[in-house]
Structure 1
Amino acid sequence: MARKTAKNAQEILKADLQALVSDTERLLEHSASLAGEQAEELRAQIKLRLLKARESLEQTKESLQIRGEAAVIATEDYVQANPWQSVGIAAGVGFLIGLLATRR
């Protein structure tokens, strides 16, 4: 569920940023030929897209912080409940990383 929500947030953020880039490119291309009202309309669209992108970034940041904190709490609880298993797992992972590091 959390992965699906994060994936949706990433897709929305990506779409918002692509739209912002597209609008900015249009503004740059047409800035010389646009009259005052047309330029203002395009600037308003860009500001709206930028605001949406910022909101999406903030939501994604908050979601990642919440998930990160939950992962830390779950890890701490597991280590507290199973200290010897945690030491064994850490030793095994360290051994595997050492083997991989010495192969290069």
Structure 2
Amino acid sequence: MEETFQTEKGLAGLDEHQVRRYPSWARWVTLAMPAHAFLAVVRADEHAHRPTPDDLIPLSCNEICRLFIALVIRPVRDAAHRLAWSDWRRRHQARSRTGHYRRQAASQT
């Protein structure tokens, strides 16, 4: 429960509200909870129905949030550019993770 709350604070904007009265806090939380649920459902659907190539890491909630903002909320450039940027980031993260695991394995032997 605590991990979910910490994740939601950053992703869904739960930490950006100054609580002064209970009704405003309740409205804010009511908006933040479905936002986090949306991210979690989209992530679960991506993992279940779309296998990722070996050179990419699976979509994370953070990456889905970035793509949603870039493609739907504030489309500055075309969608192909944003999707290519997401692929590049995920490929870079996969290479970094592989290098990190190799370094850990080499240091343990």
In terms of fraction of residues, the more helix-rich structure is 1
- Shared fold (TM-score, shorter chain, > 0.5): no
Asked which structure has the greater RCO (Cα within 8 Å, sep 6+), the reply is: 1
Is the radius of gyration larger for structure 1 or structure 2?
Answer: 1
* TM-score normalised by length of structure 1: 0.38
* TM-score normalised by length of structure 2: 0.37
